[in-house]
Structure 1
Amino acid sequence: MFKTMSVLLTGIESLINKIGKATLWVALSMIGLVALNVLLRYAFSFGSIWAQELEWHLLAAMILLGMSYAIQQGDNVRVDLFYAGFSARKKFIVDVVSVVLILLVSLIFLKLSLAYVGQSYSIDEQSADPGGFRYRWVVKGLIPLGYGLLTLQSIGALLRLVLERSQPAGGHHV
């Protein structure tokens, strides 16, 4: 059973890690696009609504695709002042409760966002601005994708907690 859990955990963490690293390129693209838009707007009096909207869409992609990676790397917000003084048992309880809460929230957002994206697709939603982004449902599709990844990461975190907790002294599951 532990071997199966370990293999599943490795697969989840590998996927989240790859997507997290790809998100770095999204961040660099967004920075480059913002710099280019500022240069074009102020140096050449040329602006593009589509490019400005793309900045926001890249930001959404960075946040939605990067949040599961941030959780995996431990870059999420936690009150370490108290946590550091907890016993191993209390840390385990806090970690499990935290992961379960994240899992529940991500499942709720995942469920709600599917209808939201479906509606956007069915009406062929596009930007209200002339020259704006035509396929708004593609960007909205990042919402269930991001929360689906967060759900996977939460499952992976629970697996890791269980494997680490059940590890015999001197043994190694993960």
Structure 2
Amino acid sequence: MKKTMGALMGAIEAGTDFIGRVTLWVTLLMIGLVAVNVLLRYLFSFGSVWAQELEWHLLAALILLGMSYALQRGDNVRVDLFYAGYSPRVKFGVDVVSVLLMLAVSVLFIKLSLNYVAQSWSINETSPDPGGIPWRWAIKSLIPLGYALVALQSVGALLRLFHERRAALDGATTAVGKSDHV
């Protein structure tokens, strides 16, 4: 059971790391696109609706795909004012409740977005602007995918919390056992 939990946790974290590397490239692509668009607009008075929409689509991909990576790395916003003074047991409880809430919110967003995305696919939704991107349905499809990645990373975070808790308890038991024998 312990090996299975560790393997599952490792697989989830490896997948999240891969998604994080993908978002790195999306970020670089978006920065390049914005720079080119700004140069074209201000130096040559040339603008493209398609390129401008692509900026927004890449930003949406960056955010929706990057949420799970930020969660894994602990880059999400936290308020440690009270948390820092909590005992390890209370911190563990707060962490578990927080991850379970994140999981619940992710599942709710997935559920709420599925009909929205299905409708977009069914009408082959495109940009309402002339010259815009014709695949609006594709970017909307990232909504449930992004939250599914957050839900998956939440499961990985729960596994890590319980794994670390078990290791800490095993270490404390071993330390107590060793001191009794000395």
Q: TM-score, normalised by structure 1?
A: 0.96
SS at 2:86 equivalent:
coil
Spell out, residue by residue over 1:45-96, the C-alpha distance to the aligned partner (whole angstroms, 9 max, x if none).
Answer: 1100000000000000000000000010001111122211111001101100
Counterpart of 2:34? 34
SS at 2:47 equivalent:
coil
SS at 2:158 equivalent:
helix
Counterpart of 1:169? 171
Aligned counterparts of 2:42 and 2:62: Cα–Cα separation in 1: 26
Counterpart of 2:159? 159
Aligned counterparts of 2:80 and 2:30: Cα–Cα separation in 1: 32
Counterpart of 1:3? 3
> Which runs of at least 4 in structure 1 moved beyond 4 Å after TM superposition?
none
SS at 2:171 equivalent:
coil
- 1:163 CA displacement: 1.1
What percentage of aligned pairs have identical amino acids? 68
Spell out, residue by residue over 1:118-168, the C-alpha distance to the aligned partner (whole angstroms, 9 max, x if none).
Answer: 100101110000000101110001101100100000000011111111121
Aligned residues: CA RMSD: 1.1
Asked whether 1:79 is paired with 2:79, we answer yes
Higher alpha-carbon Rg: 2
Structure 1: stretches of 5+ with no match in the other structure: none
Output the amino acid matched with 1:125.
E
Asked whether 1:142 is paired with 2:142, we answer yes
Structure 2: stretches of 5+ with no match in the other structure: 175-182
Output the amino acid matched with 1:126.
T
Aligned counterparts of 1:85 and 1:150: Cα–Cα separation in 2: 28
Counterpart of 1:67? 67
Deviates further, 80-89 or 146-155? 80-89
Aligned counterparts of 1:93 and 1:135: Cα–Cα separation in 2: 44
Asked whether 1:16 is paired with 2:16, we answer yes
SS at 1:80 equivalent:
coil
Output the amino acid matched with 2:45.
S
Aligned counterparts of 2:89 and 2:79: Cα–Cα separation in 1: 17
Q: TM-score, normalised by structure 2?
A: 0.91
Aligned counterparts of 2:29 and 2:87: Cα–Cα separation in 1: 43
Aligned counterparts of 2:86 and 2:7: Cα–Cα separation in 1: 30
SS at 1:150 equivalent:
helix
Output the amino acid matched with 2:31.
I
Aligned counterparts of 1:135 and 1:66: Cα–Cα separation in 2: 21
Deviates further, 110-119 or 138-147? 110-119
